[in-house]
Amino acid sequence: MTVTAQKGAPRRVRTPVTGAASAAVRPVLEAPRRPARVLAVFPAGAYLEVRTELEPSVIAVITGTATRLPNALLLPGPLPRLTVGDEAVVGDGAVELGPLSMRVRRWWDPAPHTGRVDPVRLERALPALAPDGGEGLAGNGNIELLTRACRTGWLLGVLTAAEQLVGLGPGLTPSGDDVLAGLLVTLRHIGKSAGVGQAVRVGDWLGATVTYDARTRTTPISATLLHCAAQGAASPEVCGVLRAVAGRTPLEPALSRLRRLGHTSGSDLAQGIAIGLEAVLGMAGRGGLSGEAA
């Protein structure tokens, strides 16, 4: 049993458990112990906000029925009873939360492994990724600008539209952030797989732009997911679509699983992936974006 106590406070006994976690949260979990608080609670998980300058600063503590977000720690059993505002401790390889002291023994890679991909495959995949009407920002001018700028190779337009989309929309992960997350992961991984290094560099510029002040412009949870996406980390549903786009698995089942996520999140992520594919194809044909930095 693990025992923690504060001077003058009753001794609290915590039950030790082991779990698995995304490699994206390893820097925060292995850093020195820091206080955290419960930000939100759901039947299948809870979000912890850690007082740290590191990212991801929000960790999703989930059970097996929840989506494995790239910032997740997976419990081996049910979630303990928690309320928003409860205190926790994260660091030194463990998370102390409620009656549990959780230590990670296994890690998973939150990045897709697509292998090499022929740009012709990307062209074939695009029609299936067309908007399905479930997007939260359908018809929004900034989405249209982002799509047009990626398609035509206008770097300034890409960055201008992205800045306007950060935090745009309701919910814990606003639609604008979900679109950007799908775009970021696609630029990094499909750009590399297709041999379009310029797409990876654009992803780096875009990631720096949208994460620079994300903590002040969107929700803490969404800011963390943007940071993860900028590093190429995503949920299994997003990774599954990218592998399918690369021809490793059938596309329609993977896309269906993605679009079932959340109220609009899945469709928004799919829209970001589609915009990313158009950007990669455009850069492959032109050799780069116009107006790009030297």
What was the pLDDT predicted at 289? 52
User: Is residue 3 pLDDT above 50, yes or no?
Assistant: no
What are the two backbone dihedrals, phi and then psi, of residue 183, each rounded to the nearest 5 degrees?
-65, -45
What is the distance between the alpha carbons of residues 46 and 249, in angstroms, rounded to a whole number? 32
What was the pLDDT predicted at 153? 77
Cα 54 to Cα 72, 119, 212: the distances in Å are: 15, 36, 13
What was the pLDDT predicted at 287? 55
What was the pLDDT predicted at 10? 53
Q: What's the 3-state SS for 116-156?
A: CCCHHHHHHHHHHHCCCCCCCCCCCHHHHHHHHHHHHCEHH
pLDDT in tens, 128-141: 999 999 999 988 99
Closest CA to 124 of 286, 294, 274: 274
User: Is residue 6 pLDDT above 60, yes or no?
Assistant: no
What was the pLDDT predicted at 1? 43
pLDDT in tens, 36-72: 999 999 999 999 999 999 999 999 999 998 999 999 9
36 has which bridge partners? Answer: 50, 88
Q: Are 242 and 185 in contact (CB under 8 A)?
A: yes
Domain ranges of the chain: 2-108, 119-286
Question: Which residue has tokens 């608080």?
Answer: 37
Determine how many CB atoms are found less than 10 A away from the CB of residue 157.
19
As a whole number, mean pLDDT of residues 234-261 equals 97
Determine how many CB atoms are found less than 10 A away from the CB of residue 85.
9
What is the distance between the alpha carbons of residues 204 and 226, in angstroms, rounded to a whole number? 12
Amino acid at residue number 146: L
Q: State how beta strands 94-97 and 87-91 pair.
A: antiparallel
Per-residue pLDDT band at 11 (split at 50, 70, 90): low
Tokens representing 279 are 């950007």
Determine how many CB atoms are found less than 10 A away from the CB of residue 35.
13
Coil/strand/helix, residue 5: coil
What are the two backbone dihedrals, phi and then psi, of residue 90, each rounded to the nearest 5 degrees?
-130, 130
In the chain, the N- to C-terminal Cα span, in Å, equals 57
Q: Are 142 and 164 in contact (CB under 8 A)?
A: yes
User: Is residue 288 pLDDT above 60, yes or no?
Assistant: no
What was the pLDDT predicted at 265? 96
User: Is residue 280 pLDDT above 50, yes or no?
Assistant: yes
Q: Are 25 and 72 in contact (CB under 8 A)?
A: yes
Per-residue pLDDT band at 2 (split at 50, 70, 90): very low
Neighbour-count burial of 81, counting CB atoms closer than 10 A to its CB (0-12 exposed, 13-18 middle, 19+ buried): exposed
Tokens representing 257 are 């699983």
Share of the chain above pLDDT 90, in %: 83
| Residue 128 CA from chain centroid, whole number | 22
User: Is residue 5 pLDDT above 70, yes or no?
Assistant: no
Q: Are 206 and 183 in contact (CB under 8 A)?
A: yes
Provide the mean pLDDT of the chain: 91
The pTM of this model reads: 0.92
Peptide bond into 253 cis (omega under 30): no
As a whole number, mean pLDDT of residues 124-130 equals 95
Q: Are 177 and 166 in contact (CB under 8 A)?
A: yes
What is the distance between the alpha carbons of residues 93 and 102, in angstroms, rounded to a whole number? 9
